[in-house]
Amino acid sequence: MENKKNISKRKLFTKEWKYKEGFIISLALFIIGLSISVITGGEKAIMPSYPINVILIVVYTILLVVLYLFEKKNKVIAWLSSIPAAISSVVFLTIMSTLLGIIPQVPSKNELINNMGFTDLTSSWMFAFSVVFILTTLGLVTAKRVFPFKKKNIGFLLNHMGLYIVLISGLAGSGDIQRLYFKLNDNAKAPIDIGVDINNSAYSVPFKLKLKKFIMKEYVPKLVIVESKNSKIFDQRDKVPYHVDTNQTAKLMHWEVKVEKYIENALYDSINGVYSTEKKGAFPAAYVKVFNTQTSDTLEAWITSGNYLTYRKSLKLNDKYFLAMLTPEAKKYKSDIFVYNSNGEMEERSVEVNKPIKVEGWNLYQTGYNDKMGKWSDYSLVEAIHDPWLPVVYIGIFMLIAGSLYIFWIGKDLESSSNKKK
Amino acid sequence: MNWDSFIIYALSAIVFWSLSLILHMIPSKNKILPLIANIMIIVGLAILAIYISLLWIDLDRPPLRTLGETRLWYSFFLPFIGLITYSRWKYKWFLGYSIGLSILFLVINFMHPENFSKTLMPALQSPWFVPHVIVYIFSYALLAASSIVAIKGLYETYFREFKPETLDLADNLVYVGYAFLTLGLAFGALWAKEAWGHYWTWDPKETWALLTFLCYLVYMHFRYLHKSKVKTQLWILGLAFIVLLIAWFGINYLPSAQNSVHTYGQS
Ligand code: HEM
């Protein structure tokens, strides 16, 4: 297509722009972004909130369309809506994302690195500029295929306009999104309508919440062999964990372990020994029989996982190893809560992981609990999120999904075009 | 379901697939031999499918959590893709490659068995889990295949004669793989909203999936404009493979990934 000699001899920024210009523009954007961060002492590039973000994105989108319609012959605009610009901007974003994918995004001890923005890349100016570059190209190339509109461009538009919508509304949305945490205490007297954000600033919401009950289901705990000297779980070759509810005998190293009795909620004391109970603070317990295949010795005892109140009870197998029950892992947890809406009406609802509920335009999520206390947690952490841009982002995502089906078709077209060649 | 039975299933699949490759290598005029060979691949696939189903039932959760479990799915999908590609475009070497890679995964799984733990953290207990992960696995398998094609193409350009059809195959794989990658990202975003409250959190696995997306995006656009610059296209695809491999396996070792929800835990 192009003549190699022409490209290398071509003067920069004259004639038709290609990849070199793209590289220089990316580099310039990177340096400018970095300079802003350093000069301002780590000022972040943060999207303003409503209504300024709406004005920004509407004005920017209109600007791109107008620029395309009236200046499409201009070589800069022509270049910005071409593949070399697209590839340059994508490569720029790729490099920024690679940094993001490698550098841990936690504040560093080195103040300069923090100020440069490398430890909080997504809100750095360099990153913002790379996104603006992509958006510009994407916007212009979309305009190119919208005016004039042709039916055969539908697939193209689904992908490019879809991505434009996702990017720009996600960006705008970051200025308006509100995330608040509500610590709902077990014994709270009154419902609360005040949550805190990640910086611990308090905000009020138009509804009130009160915890009725926090409920957790746990997995049946596992039995493992632990090395005494370093408390490490012994790595068995086949590493098949032994869940205590099975009736089968398990072979752990050279011990055959059998659970004779399993109690999900147990407590023990010197008078009653181990007993089943529904009391708070109970933990799983198992009566195990262990047969040593090398020495033919048999051991038996109660072992427990223990918890925040009681020590774990393990079984010493020999000088090197003991048999232990691991703390059970959470299977499901949810909060039954009372929700009072702005009219003062009360409703009983349930929030569970992966099953958020909607209240007055906010989504409520089950996020956490008191880890130390596990299923006996004395509070439930519920997160409330208000994200007015979500429907717009979803429109973009569904356009991309439709667009990916189009890409599927293209694959077929390519096949037929190469068949024609044969 | 333990590893004793894994080896039985894995070995039978490997035997069927190896026999099938041998049959494919025998030059024959009639169509019976290739037909038998293809049926053998299907039998191997069925055996692996049965093992995965039994494992699923036994674990009482989808076996998609650990690296070992995902390798199992790759072992299943690779010969599947190989077979489809072969029946449509007749690339024998590609069939051999996909089956070879699949066998490699099975062997790795036998050498490094993973924790077949029954537990699945609550955030992963979602109807999105299975489509999200399977779409990704399928897409990564296809994209990896396309990059292997590119590496073969590079070898041909430098040491032999390059055949343009090679890149046609790569294109088909890229386009289908890319469609699935987009679906994977989209499903992931929709699910993340349900589970964590936000559709995109720049989690390292997300970031690297996006990087993969961007690299193949560069390839598609470059190829669209510069049809004739074959060498550069091949290099872009080869490079994309490195990013893909990091997204696929490397994540667990990156310093940025210590808190990722996507790293495959051992606990
Ligand atoms: C979901 C992601 C994307 C997909 C699937 C995609 C796909 C495509 C395809 C298949 C074409 C060929 C044109 C045609 O089919 O008629 C194309 C062209 C193009 N794409 Fe993309 N693309 C994506 C993202 C982007 C991005 C992020 C940019 C810019 C930053 C971009 C800029 C362009 C440009 C400039 C063209 C040339 C169009 C023309 O000259 O008329 N694309 N894209």
Can you give A209-238 as a three-state secondary structure string?
A: EEEEEEEEEECCCEEEEEECCCCCECCCCC
> Ligand 1, closest atom to CA A159?
1
Count other C-beta atoms under 10 Å from residue A320's C-beta. Answer: 12
Q: Which pLDDT score is estimated for A247?
A: 66
Q: Residue A173 C-alpha to ligand 1 middle, in angstroms? A: 25
Asked whether residue A4 is assigned to any structural domain, the reply reads no
Task: Say which residue, A249 or B256, is predicted with more confidence.
Answer: A249
* Mean residue pLDDT across chain A: 84
Q: Which pLDDT score is estimated for A412?
A: 55
Mean pLDDT of B13-35: 85
Tokens of A107: 């504040």
Lowest mean pLDDT among A9-13, A177-181, A253-257: A9-13
Distance CA A290, CA A51 (A): 69
DSSP-derived 3-state class of residue A50? coil
Q: Which pLDDT score is estimated for A181?
A: 92
pTM: 0.82
Mean pLDDT of B11-30: 86
Percent of chain B whose predicted confidence (pLDDT) is above 90: 16
Residue with tokens 């049809």, as numbered in its chain: B227
Q: Which pLDDT score is estimated for B1?
A: 47
Assess whether A29 and A92 both reside in one domain.
Answer: yes
Length reported for chain A: 422
Over the range B9-34, which residues count as b (16 or more CB within 10 Å of their CB) and which as e?
bbeebbebbebbbebbeeeeeeeeeb
Asked whether residue A281 is assigned to any structural domain, the reply reads yes
- Report the candidate in B196, B126, B264 with the shortest Cα–Cα distance to residue A368: B196
Residue with tokens 């090679």, as numbered in its chain: B166
DSSP-derived 3-state class of residue B35? helix
Query: In one letter, which amino acid is B192?
Result: A
3-state class percentages of chain A: helix first, strand second, coil last, to nearest 5 = 40, 30, 30
Please list every residue in chain A whose beta carbon sits closer than 8 Å to the beta carbon of residue B197: 179, 356, 363, 365, 367, 383, 385
Distance CA A201, CA A412 (A): 55
Q: Of A97, A104, A177, which is closest to B210 when you measure between CB atoms?
A: A97
Please list every residue in chain A whose beta carbon sits closer than 8 Å to the beta carbon of residue B142: none
Confidence category of residue B116, pLDDT binned at 50, 70, 90: low
Please list every residue in chain B whose beta carbon sits closer than 8 Å to the beta carbon of residue A179: 197-198
Query: In one letter, which amino acid is A14?
Result: T
Q: Do B121 and A329 touch (CB under 8 A)?
A: yes
Q: Which pLDDT score is estimated for B113?
A: 63
Q: Residue B138 pLDDT > 50, yes or no?
A: yes
Q: Output phi, psi for A217, to 5 deg.
A: -105, 140
Number of domains into which chain A is organized: 3
Q: Do B3 and A365 touch (CB under 8 A)?
A: no
Asked whether residue A96 is assigned to any structural domain, the reply reads yes
Calculate the CA B64 to chain-centre distance.
13
Please list every residue in chain B whose beta carbon sits closer than 8 Å to the beta carbon of residue A399: none
B173 CB contacts (<8 Å, ≥6 apart)? B85, B142, B143, B145, B146, B149
Helix (H) or strand (E) holding B211: helix B204-225
Largest CA distance in chain A: 95
Q: Of A240, A352, A403, which is closest to B2 when you measure between CB atoms?
A: A240
Q: Residue A114 pLDDT > 50, yes or no?
A: yes
Assess whether A261 and A368 both reside in one domain.
Answer: no
Q: Of B119, B123, B215, which is closest to A94 when you measure between CB atoms?
A: B215
Q: Which pLDDT score is estimated for A400?
A: 95
Length reported for chain B: 267
Q: Residue A12 pLDDT > 50, yes or no?
A: yes
Distance CA B93, CA A163 (A): 37
**CATH code for position A195:** 2.60.98.10
Q: Which pLDDT score is estimated for A417?
A: 47
- Closest-CA distance, A351 to chain B, in angstroms, reads 11
Q: Residue B23 C-alpha to ligand 1 middle, in angstroms? A: 43
Assess whether A119 and A25 both reside in one domain.
Answer: yes
Task: Say which residue, B248 or A165, is predicted with more confidence.
Answer: A165
Confidence category of residue A402, pLDDT binned at 50, 70, 90: very high
Q: Which pLDDT score is estimated for B266?
A: 34
Largest CA distance in chain B: 60
Confidence category of residue A1, pLDDT binned at 50, 70, 90: very low
Mean pLDDT of A390-412: 86
Assess whether A162 and A261 both reside in one domain.
Answer: no
Query: In one letter, which amino acid is B103?
Result: I
Assess whether A33 and A165 both reside in one domain.
Answer: yes
Q: Residue A59 pLDDT > 50, yes or no?
A: yes
Distance CA B109, CA A238 (A): 11
Asked whether residue A257 is assigned to any structural domain, the reply reads yes
Within 6 Å (CB) of ligand 1, which residues are found? A 81-83, 86, 89-90, 134, 137-138, 141, 144, 156, 159-160, 163, 400, 407, 410; B 217, 220-221, 224
ipTM for the complex shown: 0.83
Asked whether residue A6 is assigned to any structural domain, the reply reads no
B58, B1 contact by CB (below 8 A): yes
Assess whether A40 and A147 both reside in one domain.
Answer: yes
Q: Which pLDDT score is estimated for A3?
A: 46
pLDDT in tens, A174-216: 888 888 999 988 888 888 888 888 888 888 888 899 888 899 9
Q: Which pLDDT score is estimated for A143?
A: 92
Q: Residue A420 pLDDT > 60, yes or no?
A: no
* Positions of E strands within A43-151: none
Helix (H) or strand (E) holding B17: helix B3-25
B169 CB contacts (<8 Å, ≥6 apart)? B85, B89, B91, B94, B146, B149
Q: Which pLDDT score is estimated for B131?
A: 78
Assess whether A341 and A357 both reside in one domain.
Answer: yes
Q: Which pLDDT score is estimated for B118?
A: 64
Query: In one letter, which amino acid is B53?
Result: S
Distance CA B235, CA B238 (A): 5
User: Is A315 exposed, middle or buried, given 0-12, 13-18 or 19+ CB atoms closer than 10 A?
Assistant: buried
Tokens of A11: 């003067």
Mode of pairing for the β-strands spanning A321-325 and A330-340: unpaired
- Report the candidate in A86, A1, A138, A89 with the shortest Cα–Cα distance to residue B222: A86
Q: Identify the domain containing residue A343 by its residue range.
A: 178-217+331-386
B251, B261 contact by CB (below 8 A): no
| Integer angstrom CA distances of residue A209 from A181, A186, A188, A350 | 11, 12, 10, 12
* Positions of E strands within A157-311: 178-185, 192-196, 202-218, 222-227, 242-243, 250-252, 255-269, 273-276, 283-292, 298-304
Q: Residue A86 C-alpha to ligand 1 middle, in angstroms? A: 8
Confidence category of residue A13, pLDDT binned at 50, 70, 90: low
Assess whether A322 and A414 both reside in one domain.
Answer: no
Q: Which pLDDT score is estimated for A418?
A: 46
pLDDT in tens, A43-53: 777 777 778 88
Assess whether A272 and A245 both reside in one domain.
Answer: yes
Q: Which pLDDT score is estimated for A238?
A: 46
Ligand 1, atom 36: closest residue by C-alpha: A83
Q: Residue B30 pLDDT > 60, yes or no?
A: yes
Q: Do B175 and A408 touch (CB under 8 A)?
A: yes
| Of A296, A312, A328, the domain-final residue | A328
Asked whether residue A5 is assigned to any structural domain, the reply reads no
Q: Residue A346 pLDDT > 70, yes or no?
A: yes
Confidence category of residue A421, pLDDT binned at 50, 70, 90: very low
| Integer angstrom CA distances of residue A354 from A351, B125, B198 | 9, 7, 12
Confidence category of residue A158, pLDDT binned at 50, 70, 90: very high
Q: Which pLDDT score is estimated for B254?
A: 63
Q: Which pLDDT score is estimated for B91?
A: 73
A40 CB contacts (<8 Å, ≥6 apart)? none
Q: Which pLDDT score is estimated for A266?
A: 87
Asked whether residue A46 is assigned to any structural domain, the reply reads yes
Please list every residue in chain B whose beta carbon sits closer than 8 Å to the beta carbon of residue A354: 122-123, 125-126, 194-195
Assess whether A303 and A402 both reside in one domain.
Answer: no
A286, A312 contact by CB (below 8 A): no
Q: Which pLDDT score is estimated for B117?
A: 64
Ligand 1, atom 24: closest residue by C-alpha: A160
| Integer angstrom CA distances of residue A297 from A227, A247, B231 | 19, 21, 70
Residues forming a β-bridge with A251: A256
Assess whether A31 and A139 both reside in one domain.
Answer: yes
Assess whether A339 and A290 both reside in one domain.
Answer: no
Over the range A365-374, which residues count as b (16 or more CB within 10 Å of their CB) and which as e?
bbbbbbeebb
Lowest mean pLDDT among B110-114, B185-189, B234-238: B110-114
- Closest-CA distance, A271 to chain B, in angstroms, reads 35
Q: Output phi, psi for A180, to 5 deg.
A: -125, 145
Lowest mean pLDDT among A106-110, A312-316, A322-326: A106-110
Q: State the first-to-last Cα distance of chain A, in angstroms, to the nearest integer.
A: 22
Distance CA A5, CA A87 (A): 22
Q: Which pLDDT score is estimated for B185?
A: 92
Please compute, for residue A403, the number of CA atoms within 13 A of its CA located in the half-sphere on the CB side.
22
pLDDT in tens, B75-103: 898 888 888 878 877 777 778 888 888 89
Confidence category of residue A168, pLDDT binned at 50, 70, 90: very high
| Integer angstrom CA distances of residue B85 from A140, A211, B142, B241 | 37, 56, 10, 20
Residue of chain A whose Cα is closest to the Cα of B126 = A354
Q: Of B117, B123, B202, which is closest to A100 when you measure between CB atoms?
A: B202
Q: Which pLDDT score is estimated for B265?
A: 38
Task: Say which residue, A237 or A297, is predicted with more confidence.
Answer: A297
Q: State the first-to-last Cα distance of chain B, in angstroms, to the nearest integer.
A: 19
Mean pLDDT of B208-212: 91
